[in-house]
Amino acid sequence: MKIKTLFVMLTLLAGSALITSADIAELVPDHDYAELESLIIQQGGRKKPLLTFSREVLLTLSGRSSLNLEDKRVDSMAFIASIWINQRDWSEQPIINVESAEVKEALGLDMRKHRFAFRDIVGAETFQRLVAEMEETREVGGDEAMTEKQRKLNEVVARLNLFQSLQTGRAFAVIPHPSDPVGRWVSLGEAETYYTEQELVPLGLDWVMLHAAYHGEPISRNFTEASVAFRERQAALSPEVMLSGGLVRAELLYEKVPFFRLAWILCLLTTLAFGLTWKAGRKTGSAIGWSLALAALAAMTVGMALRVYISGRAPVTNMYETVIWVAFGAMLFAVIFEMRHRCRYYFLSAAPVATLMLILADSVPSILDPNIAPLTAVLRDNFWLTTHVLIVTISYAAFALAWGLGHYVLFRKIVGGPKAPENKFIHAYIYRAMQVGLLLLIAGVILGGVWANYSWGRFWGWDPKETWALIAILCYLFVLHGRLVGWWKGFGISVGSVVGFLSILMCWYGVNFILGAGLHSYGFGTGGTGYAIAFVVAELAFVAAALFRHYQAPPAGRRRVSEPNAAPAKNLAKAKA
């Protein structure tokens, strides 16, 4: 990057051979891309269908999965085809996402907009100076030395680079390596590095035809036929390095059906089904709720199964995947517990929690990156990754379930005051969920220790993630031991489930996004810290409110020191009374 790239960017600005097109209809003609979607392209360390490529690229570039240009909706394939086949100048279209207000201000961009044209950003008066400063900071002090603004600017520069590689065609690595399945693919312009002119002539002709068909020129093929011809010709260049048909179909299915969006809608409906029929129509409500919950679970299962099939590894390698996995786990635990207890509380707690998490995963792609990318080398061990990470993250799900139930108890306390009737069932449910979570967390952390002992040499290294996992364990142990010795009962457990979850949040999100340090370097990211802090403050305020209501007039018998083994018996006695 650096100065060199700046020069290149300037050249691109100065004189380009691209045709500038003001008319959106001409820029993005309507075509059916169904056949072009399955063209295989290599990018980001793996081979993928062009549809996935287009989605990922557009998401990275603009933060959205489709564009809205002059009231015309341009989906990712239309955009990719236009910039690649049409070879139109896109540098004046507002498609590059600049979300940071600081960066916008520094560049003198319109504060009200989110997306800007390449030209507007690169042409900004302060752009070159800011980039040079950022590069200098990084040169001297490394990535950590960069300010928040420079980090954000760096993200924008990465988007600009991506845009350039698209505009120049370099990004379209569709020419397969002739023999090596993991060899580097090249773009059409560099095809001669691997193949002779004779070998390339047919593909070249097909490319010209595709081009002509795209422009609606009167040739023997329509666009769909031309797409098929080009795709098949490309696949024939080096058949042994192509993706298998099954993988391509799986990936297209995964891209086309929004499984996780479907899942959150189903989870939301589950919540409604159980919530609205709480008092009346219990039976129908339960039947509908159960089917919706199972459907949501099925949608998530299929979505994750496809992801596993496509990536060839456990679906818990970045924040996006873990959030979905936790949502899945919460629903799974709810189903298991409901099968045992049929109490509806579990669904009523798990479904909103899962809805919340899935919406989160669905709506902030810049923070929770949904792209499937290769793993860092440290994590490339399927056995350990699967056992350790899956178990740890599913324990979060159990805690999330307890957290949701805890909210219910605290909410009742806030509304009903100190004399609100306590529902001992829920307390037992929370207790159970916490036990399950704790066992899984302990097992997962210890498995992590065994993995670390095996692969890094040491069992425990006080890495931030390790330490915070330990703190979370100790928090929940504290809550459970406290109950055992009779310091508190149901209400205390509920408070513990809500406060304890904050330690999970720190371990889960905080270590990766706020501390951003340590060996657990999967899915480090930035963003959302403000929301996270707001969330923590809101939760603490909520707990404080509940505690306040609880202590307004402490009912007799609270905080009574009692024999640990006698406590449940007393509960029972009370319940019977």
Partner 1 sequence: MLLFLVIAVASVWGTIEESRYTSQVDMTFGARLAQHRIYHAWWFTFWLIVLCVNLACVTFTRLPWKKRHTGFIVTHYGIITLLIGSMIGKHAGIEGSMNLRIGDPPENSLVLGEMVLHFLDYRGRIYRAPFPMDVSPPRENRPKILPLPHKQRRTAGAPFSRVGSRWFGRSPGEPSLVFNRYSEKLEREEDFAPAPGSHSTGVRLHMVSAMMGGQGMDVTLITEPADKSYHALAGLAQISLSDRIVRDFDAMETPSPLLQIRVTGPGEVEYHVINSRAEVREGELRVGESLETGWADWVVRLEEALPEAAWVDEIRENPALPTGGGLAGAYGWLDWGDGRRTEPQWFLLGDMQRVQLDENEVRFGFGFRRERLPFQVELIGFEVPRDEGTDNPANFTSYLRFTDPETGESVEGSCGMNVPALYPNAFHRLLTGFTYKFSQASWDPDDLEVSTVQVLRDPGWLFKWVGSLTVVAGVYMIFFMRSFRHRRPEDIIDDLRAGDNESDKTGKP
**Interactions with partner 1, residue window 517-546 (CB under 8 A):** 517-518
Least spacing, CB of residue 406 vs partner 1, in Å: 15
Write 300-308 long-range contacts (CB < 8 A, 24+): 300/259, 300/260, 300/263, 300/324, 300/327, 300/328, 300/331, 301/328, 302/259, 303/254, 303/259, 303/260, 303/263, 304/328, 306/250, 306/251, 306/253, 306/254, 306/259, 307/254, 307/372
Query: Measured from the CB atom, is 253 or 443 closer to partner 1?
Result: 443
* Residue 4 is a binding residue for partner 1 (CB under 8 A): yes
* Residue 189 is a binding residue for partner 1 (CB under 8 A): no
Site for partner 1 in 145-164 (CB under 8 A): 145
Site for partner 1 in 285-344 (CB under 8 A): 340-341
* Residue 411 is a binding residue for partner 1 (CB under 8 A): no
Torsion over CA: 567, 573, 575, 577 (sign): negative
Least spacing, CB of residue 312 vs partner 1, in Å: 13
Least spacing, CB of residue 515 vs partner 1, in Å: 6
Least spacing, CB of residue 557 vs partner 1, in Å: 17
* Residue 561 is a binding residue for partner 1 (CB under 8 A): yes
* Residue 14 is a binding residue for partner 1 (CB under 8 A): no
* Residue 425 is a binding residue for partner 1 (CB under 8 A): yes
* Residue 60 is a binding residue for partner 1 (CB under 8 A): no
For residue 544, with 0-12 CB atoms within 10 Å meaning exposed, 13-18 middle and 19 or more buried, which class applies? exposed
Grouping H, G, I as helix, E, B as strand and the rest as coil, residue 205 is helix
Least spacing, CB of residue 132 vs partner 1, in Å: 5
Identify whether the C-beta of residue 563 lies closer than 8 Å to the C-beta of residue 486: yes
* Residue 44 is a binding residue for partner 1 (CB under 8 A): yes
Identify whether the C-beta of residue 516 lies closer than 8 Å to the C-beta of residue 474: no
Burial 116-146 (b: 16+ CB within 10 A, else e): bbbbbbbebeebeebbeebbebbeeeeeeeb
**Rounded to the nearest 5°, which phi and psi values hold at 40?**
-90, 135
Residue selected from 147, 193, 455, 552 as contacting partner 1 according to rule CB under 8 A: 455
Site string for partner 1, 456-485 (x = CB under 8 A): xxxxxxxxx--xx-xx--xx--x--xx--x
Residue selected from 184, 215, 558, 560 as contacting partner 1 according to rule CB under 8 A: 184
Query: Measured from the CB atom, is 46 or 119 closer to partner 1?
Result: 46
Amino acid present at 385? L
Least spacing, CB of residue 382 vs partner 1, in Å: 10
Identify whether the C-beta of residue 321 lies closer than 8 Å to the C-beta of residue 390: no
Query: Measured from the CB atom, is 285 or 464 closer to partner 1?
Result: 464
Site for partner 1 in 81-140 (CB under 8 A): 128-129, 132-133, 140
* Residue 195 is a binding residue for partner 1 (CB under 8 A): no
Residue selected from 123, 178, 449, 525 as contacting partner 1 according to rule CB under 8 A: 449
Torsion over CA: 62, 372, 262, 282 (sign): negative
Query: Measured from the CB atom, is 34 or 378 closer to partner 1?
Result: 378
Q: Residue 554, Cβ neighbours under 10 Å: how many?
A: 10
